[in-house]
Amino acid sequence: MQPYLRPDLDRLQAYHTPHFPEADKLDANELPHDLPEWLKNKLAFLLEQGVRTNRYPEGDPLALKAAIAEYCGVTSDMVCVGNGSDELIRSLITATCLGGRGTVASAEPTFSMYRILAETLAVPYVGVARTADYGVDADALEAVIQANGVRVLFLANPNSPTGNLLSDEIIERLGSLPVLVVLDEAYYEFSRFSAVPLLWERPNLVILRTFSKAFRLANFRVGYALANPEIAAVLEKVRLPYNLPGLSQLAAFAALEHRDVLLAAIPEILAERRRIERFLADFEEIERFASDANFLFVRPHTADPEAVRVALAGRGSLVRGAAGGLRITVGTPEQNDRLIANIAALFTREIR
Ligand SMILES: Cc1ncc(COP(=O)(O)O)c(C=O)c1O
């Protein structure tokens, strides 16, 4: 390691994703559908007519913020946009903990970027273990917050990789915690549960959302945070200039404009999730967990989960290994048929 690089970065790994171009991609919780062709054509037209590529994009995209505010039922001064919600997670850590000011906490297993982004900023991170059914233990959380100087708590709701929502009791308890509470609602369009109504009574609450999942825009990297205007203004101070490319701004705006069409795919995704759940119910050796999102978390008990993941990938169904189990994104009906056939073959079962 060169002497001017931080030695603590030595043990970190760059974020890599497996490359299986032939396989059904059920490993990143994206929607399996591309944008409709007419909407892509509209974006291409807008790019041609409305974007000067030699100019920086809008630094503070007010029209997009207004559209997001309207979609979420908040005011524009409560909205910040980021290059994926990943960028906003980093901004939140910068705004609360950087420079030895405090610790980041989360309840694990959960979305890995809370820990990774804290580590890249050399900010201490503490993960509180979830309960056996992946709920959050509020007493344990409180104890950890007090003992570690925690200033920001990230909770994914629904959680990834486990798919479950926080209980009402936990949401209630979060209101009295002396930290910034960030509820990450990346899968809101599937769960339909949101803490947005609490924003007005809880000044320590931030909500994260993304266009990467239900809105089919993972390629464009658009996320947003909702918070009271004071917090939103601070997030604006720590973001990079021109953080959202012009085409991404146009795509997010168009996705909201045509949300009736795009979000109409969700009932089928949820029905397909129930179909996969019903299929898996026949396997005592595969433990399943209830999901409120577009993916399922399972734990095979008679086989090494990593070996199952590799075998499924070899058969053409690429799922994600996580938390000692597998996280399976719901795909198209055809992709799900192949997943079901592949699981049946691996666990030598007839498909009924
Ligand atoms: C809980 C959660 N939050 C945030 C993200 C990242 O979203 P984005 O693509 O907006 O960075 C993901 C992506 O998988 C996620 O699962």
DSSP letters spanning 167-183: PHHHHHHHTT-SSEEEE
Residue 233: how many other CB atoms lie within 10 Å: 12
Q: Is the pLDDT of residue 351 over 70?
A: no
Is pLDDT above 90 for 324? yes
pLDDT above 60 for 313: yes
Instruction: Tell which wins on pLDDT, 234 or 19.
Output: 234
Q: Which fold has domain 37-257?
A: Aspartate Aminotransferase; domain 2 (3.40.640)
Q: What's the confidence (pLDDT) of residue 16?
A: 85
Span 71-82, mean pLDDT?
A: 98
Q: What does the mean pLDDT of the chain come to?
A: 96
Separation between Cα atoms, residue 290 and residue 191, nearest integer Å: 12
Residue 216 in tokens: 């089919």
pLDDT of residue 18: 82
Which tens digit of pLDDT belongs to each residue from 109-123? 999 999 999 999 999
Nearest CA to ligand 1 atom 12: 186
Task: State the average pLDDT over residues 231-254.
Answer: 98
**For position 200, what pLDDT does the model report?**
96
Residue 217 has pLDDT above 90, yes or no: yes
Q: What is the pLDDT of residues 123-172, one digit of tens each?
A: 999 999 999 999 999 999 999 999 999 999 999 999 999 999 999 999 99
Q: Which of 230, 193, 231 is nearest to 209 (CA)?
A: 193
User: How far apart are the C-alpha atoms of 235 and 113, rounded to whole Å?
Assistant: 18
Torsion of CA 81, 84, 89, 95, to 10 degrees: -40
pLDDT for the residue 133: 95
Inform me whether the pLDDT recorded for 350 exceeds 70: no
Q: Which residues pair with 328 in a beta bridge?
A: 296
**Ligand 1 centroid from CA 350, angstroms:** 36
Q: How far is the CA of 308 from the centre of ligand 1 (A)?
A: 25
Residue ranges, comma separated, of all CATH 3.90.1150.10 domains in the chain are 7-30+264-346
Does the structure show a pLDDT above 70 at 312?
yes
**C-alpha pair distances (Å), 196 with each of 96, 175, 183, 263:** 21, 13, 10, 19
Grouping H, G, I as helix, E, B as strand and the rest as coil, residue 62 is helix
Q: Position of tokens 């266009």? A: 211
* CATH architecture of the domain formed by 7-30+264-346: Alpha-Beta Complex (3.90)
Q: Report the alpha-carbon distance of residue 158 to residue 137 in Å, rounded.
A: 16
Model pLDDT, residue 17: 84
Query: Cα 25 to the chain's mean position, in Å?
Result: 17
Contact between 85 and 224 under an 8 Å Cβ cutoff? The reply is yes
Give me the percent of the chain exceeding a pLDDT of 90.
Answer: 95
Decide if 173 contacts 130 (C-beta within 8 A): no
The CA–CA distances, whole Å, from 80 to 60, 87, 101, 239, 297 equal 9, 11, 23, 9, 31
Q: What is the pLDDT of residues 49-71, one digit of tens each?
A: 989 999 999 999 999 999 999 99
Rg of the Cα atoms in the chain:
21
DSSP 80-116: EEEEHHHHHHHHHHHHHTTTTT-EEEEEES--THHHH
Does position 218 have pLDDT exceeding 60, yes or no?
yes
Pocket of ligand 1 (CB under 6 A): 29, 84-86, 111, 156, 160, 184, 186, 210, 212, 218, 223
Q: How far is the CA of 113 from the centre of ligand 1 (A)?
A: 8
| Bridge partners (DSSP) listed for residue 41 | none
From 189, 213, 294, 297, mutation site for ligand 1 pocket: most ligand atoms within 8 A of C-beta: 213
Q: Where in the chain is the domain with CATH 3.40.640.10?
A: 37-257
**Mean pLDDT value of segment 262-270:** 98
